[in-house]
Structure 1
């Protein structure tokens, strides 16, 4: 579990640096420049240390450079604030693959209610697209406090809530199917 949080922190470090600097100084050019430099330094450090870099690291670097450049050219932080939406859209697109979720389910669930697992996979894709659109909507306001709340509370809370609903629904569905098979 610790590794997951370290990877997430690594992937979002440049966005965190941007947000902290921008909130502290109000200087979009400084915050963006440091975020881009930090992302480049992060990749260089990993390469020097011989650590393997995954697709997400390179994708994150590319996004920081492209969106950061747009922010620098326009002096508008909304481009950098929209970055999480791209990740949500990409994940949502991957989740559109039929049955993607089956491999993550306990064997009992995958065997007893595979059709519901497939439906849940599509529901997760829809959630990712909705959260991505919400991120763009909030970023377009330019309100950093609202954006920080949305990214840290709404995005995470929606995923936890969806997971809880799915867990309860799957338990009920599996239990009902087992009871029906015995009867």
Structure 2
């Protein structure tokens, strides 16, 4: 579990630096420069420590550098605000692969209700696309407070979707097991 939180912290560190500095100073150049700097330091630090970074880490860092550069050139924070949308769209595309979720559920779930797991995988893809579109819509406003509220909503939506899925899977499996015993 500690490893998961370490990876999540690393993934969101540059974004957190950007938003904290932007909220505190209202200076898009300072906030963006710091975020890009943190992303570059993360790569250098991983290299020094001998850690390999995965594709998603490199993609996230590349997005910070590219969108950060555009933000600096235009002095417009909306480009940095839109970064999570690109992530949502990329993950949504990956989630369109039939059965992608089967390897992430316990064997009992995969064996008992594979069709529901596949359907849930497509529902997750739809959620990612919807959240990505919402992120772009909110980013276009340029209002950081609204963006932070929306980002909190996206996190809550994912937690709620996981909770609904968990309860639904438990209910469906229990029903199937009762029917098999009868």
TM bucket normalised to smaller: over 0.9
Q: What is the TM-score when the length of structure 2 is the normalising length?
A: 0.95
**Local SS of the residue matching 1:97:** coil
Q: Offset at 1:63?
A: 0.3
> 1:20, CA displacement in angstroms?
1.1
Name the residue aligned to 1:6.
Answer: 6
Query: How much is the aligned-residue C-alpha RMSD, in angstroms?
Result: 1.1
**1:163 Cα deviation (Å)?**
0.8
CA distance in 2, matches of 1:166, 1:159: 10
1:182 partnered with 2:181: yes
- Return the offset for 1:14: 1.0
Q: Does 1:163 align with 2:156?
A: no
Q: Deviations over 1:37-68 (max 9, x none)?
A: 12111111111121111112211111011101
Give ranges in structure 2 of 5+ residues lacking alignment. Answer: none
The whole-number CA distance in structure 1 between the counterparts of 2:157 and 2:129 is 12
SS in 1 for 2:53: coil
Gaps of 5+ in 1: none
* Distance in 2, Cα, partners of 1:2 & 1:87: 23
Residue deviations 1:99-128, cap 9 Å, x none? Answer: 111111222211111111110010011111
Aligned to 1:104: 104
TM-score by length of 1: 0.95
Q: Does 1:84 pair with 2:93?
A: no
Deviation at 1:32, TM superposition (A): 0.9
1:154 and 2:141 equivalent?
no
